[in-house]
Amino acid sequence: MTTTPPPTRTETDSLGSIEIPRDALWGIHTARALENFAISRRPISVYPDLVNALATVKQAAARANREIGVLDAWKAEWIDAACERIKAGEFHDEFVVGVIQGGAGTSTNMNANEVIANVALVANGHAPGDYGVLHPLDDVNRSQSTNDVYPTAVKLAAVFSLRRLLVEHGLLRDSFAAKGVEFEHVLKVGRTQLQDAVPMTLGQEFHGFATTLTEDTDRLGYTVPLLCEINLGATAIGTGITADPNYAATVCRQLRELTGLDLVTAADLVEATSDTGVFMTLSGVLKRSAIKLSKICNDLRLLSSGPQAGFGEINLPPRQAGSSIMPGKVNPVIPEVVNQVAFAVAGADLTVTMAAEAGQLQLNAFEPVMAHSLLQSLAWMTAGCRTLRLNCVDGITANLDRLDTMVSTSVGVVTALTPYIGYAAASALAKTALLTHRNIADLVVEADLMSREQVTKLTSPARLSGIEAITAAMPIIDLEAEQARAEAAAQAAREAAAAASASSSASRGGSGTPE
C-alpha cells in the first residue's frame, strides 16, 4: 500500500527552491531554519508573549508605513488585521522555528513575516505563498530589520511576562503577610547559625518573608521603564538605512498606542542596536528575587522538618505521598520545586551574562538564547510564586504545642533577663537549664534572683519578641551582688550536674562503680 505524499507548494529564495506543505502559513525561510536549528525542540510558540509581541511590532510598523506613505493602505489593513488575529491567539502553532537559533533572531523575524503575510493572503481569498500580492519582506517587513524588530519584540514580551510575575509575586507577599498577622502572638525560638538564639514570634518571621518579597517586587518593577527604551527604526546597525527619516518616531508612537506602554526611542540607535545591557539587568534582578525566594523555601522546609525528629514548628499542607518505600512519608514538595526554579533562574542569568559579553561590534548575535533564558525565567518564576502561594503558604499552620515546649525550655529566654541579673549569673543559669532540662523561669525564682511575677512580666511574648521594650528603665547592676548571684548560680549548676551524674550511674548499675 502506497502513501500519497501531502500536497506541497514550491517557494524559492537566493539559495534555491524548497517544497513547502501546501497549507502551511510559514514559508521557505522558516523551512530552512527548521532544518538548520533542530536544537532545542522548542518552537518560539512556547512563549506566547513573544509571538504576540512580534505581531504587535509588525502591526505598528504597518500603521507607521501607511502613515508616512511607503505602504499601500490596503496592504497595511491586511497586515493589521492578520496581526490582530495572531494577538488574539490564532495561528500560534505556525510559529515553528526553534527558540535557539543562529542569526541574531533572523529566523524568528522571517517566520513572523511569512505567517502574517499568508494569514492576510488566505483571509482575502488568496493561496498561501501568493507573494506577488502581499510579500513577507517587501511589505510585512517594510522599513525593518531583524536587528530592531527582534530586540524590541523581546523587550515587549519581557514586559508582558513581567506584569504577570509582579501580580503573582505581590499575591505571594500578601499571603506571607497574612500569615504574619495570623501568627503575631505565637512565640518561638529564633536561631542564628542553626543554634538557639533569642525568642521572637512566628508572625515576625513571616512578616520578614513578606518584607523580602516587597523589596523584590519593587526591584522587578524598576526594570519596566528600562525595557521601554527601544531601537525600532534603527534597522540593520542603527543608521536607519532603508527606513524613511520619519519612520522611527512614527512607529514608536504607533507602538505606544497599541501597547499602552511609555515607550521611547533610544537617543543613540547605533549603541542601542549593539547593547544588551538591559537584558542583563532584568536577568540579574530575576536571579536576586529567585535566590531570596529560594532562601525562604529553605526556611519553610527546615521549620516544617520532622514530623517527630525535626524542627516541627510549622505544618505545610500535605500535597502527595512522599515515598515509594516509606509509608506515610510526606515531603515538602512545593518549596522543593521552587528551589529548583531558583537554580534554573540562576543558571539562566549566567547564560545571559555570557551571551551579552560575546557580542561583537554593531550587533549581538546571541539575543535568541538571552530571550529564551529571560522568558523561561519569567514564566517559571510566575508559576513558582503561584504554586507556593496556593499549594503551600496559604495552608501553613503553626504547631503550637511544639513551639511552646521549645520556648519554655530554651536558654534563649535568659538573654532577656541579663540586664537585670547580670551576664555571669545568666550564663550559669543557662548552663544549669541545659544540664537539668529545666525551665529558666523556675531556676531564676528558685535562686531568689527575681520574683515569679517579675520573671513572668519580663518573659511575656510581647517583651521577648521586642514588641514591647524589655528595658524601658534599665536598672544599674550591683557588681558585688551580681558576683554573689553568679557564684550561687554556678554552685547550683555544679550540684545539678553532680546529681545528674549520680542518677545516671545508679540507673546503669546501682553501685555507681564503672563496669
pLDDT digits (tens, 9 = 90+) for 150-205: 999 999 999 999 999 999 999 999 999 999 999 998 999 889 898 888 889 999 99
The C-alpha cell that represents 80 in the structure block:
493589521
Residue spans per domain, the chain: 8-142, 148-322+329-399, 410-504
Q: What is the pTM of this model?
A: 0.85
Q: State yes or no: is 143 an active-site residue.
A: no
Q: What is the pLDDT of residues 299-332, one digit of tens each?
A: 999 999 988 888 999 999 887 666 657 767 778 8
Q: Is 9 left (phi over 0), alpha (psi -120 to 50) or beta?
A: beta
Does residue 230 have a pLDDT over 80?
Answer: yes
| Cα–Cα distance measured from residue 154 to residue 371, given in angstroms and rounded to the nearest whole number | 6
Cα separations in angstroms, 275 against 116, 147, 229, 333, 485: 28, 11, 12, 40, 70
Contacts of residue 14, Cβ cutoff 8 Å, sequence gap at least 6:
none
Quick: pLDDT tens for 26-52: 999 999 999 989 888 899 999 999 999
Q: Lowest mean pLDDT: which of 21-25, 215-219, 489-493? A: 489-493
Domain 148-322+329-399: CATH superfamily, name plus number: Fumarase/aspartase (Central domain) (1.20.200.10)
d(Cα 462, Cα 512) in Å, to the nearest integer? Answer: 47
How far, in Å, CA of 75 to CA of 57, rounded? Answer: 16
So what's the pLDDT on residue 477? 44
CB hemisphere CA count around 58 (13 angstroms): 36
| Intrachain domains 8-142 and 148-322+329-399 with the same fold | no
Burial (CB < 10 A; 0-12, 13-18, 19+), residue 192, is exposed
Q: Quick one: which of 323, 324, 331 has its CA closest to 306?
A: 331
How many degrees, rounded to 5, is the angle at CA 395 between CA 392 and CA 396? 85
pLDDT, residue 26, reads 95
Pick the residue with more confidence: 458 or 285?
285
Rounded to whole angstroms, the Cα distance separating 234 from 268 reads 9
Cα 453 to Cα 473: distance, rounded to the nearest angstrom: 17
- CA nearest neighbour of 344 among 301, 387, 293, 386: 293
Residue 203's pLDDT is 94
User: Which contacts of 363-366 are long-range, i.e. CB under 8 A and separated by 24 or more positions?
Assistant: 363/104, 363/147, 363/237, 363/273, 363/274, 364/104, 364/274, 364/275, 364/276, 365/102, 365/103, 365/104, 366/104
Q: Would you say 172 and 385 are in contact if contact means Cβ atoms under 8 Å apart?
A: yes
Instruction: Spell out a b/e string for 108-141, using b for 16 or more CB atoms within 10 Å of the CB, else e.
Output: bbbbbbbbbbbbbbeeeebebbbbeebbbbebbb
- Amino acid 265: pLDDT: 96
The C-alpha cell 542601542 sits at 272
C-alpha cell at 405: 515546649
CA distance 430 to 433: 5
pLDDT at 375: 98
Whether residue 432 has pLDDT greater than 50: yes
pLDDT reported for residue 489:
62
Q: Does the 8-142 domain belong in CATH 1.20.200.10?
A: no
* Range 104-118 average pLDDT: 96
Q: Which of 45, 107, 323, 324 is catalytic?
A: 323
pLDDT in tens, 455-512: 888 877 667 777 665 444 434 445 455 556 656 666 666 676 676 666 666 655 554 4
Determine the pLDDT at residue 310: 87
The pLDDT of 77-84, averaged and rounded, is: 98
**Total Cβ atoms within 10 A of residue 255:** 23
- In the 8-state DSSP scheme, what is residue 474? P
Q: Give the span between the Cα atoms of 494 and 489, in whole angstroms.
A: 9
How far apart, in whole angstroms, are the C-alpha atoms of residue 160 and residue 142? Answer: 25
Vertex 268, ends 281 and 76: CA angle to 5°? Answer: 95
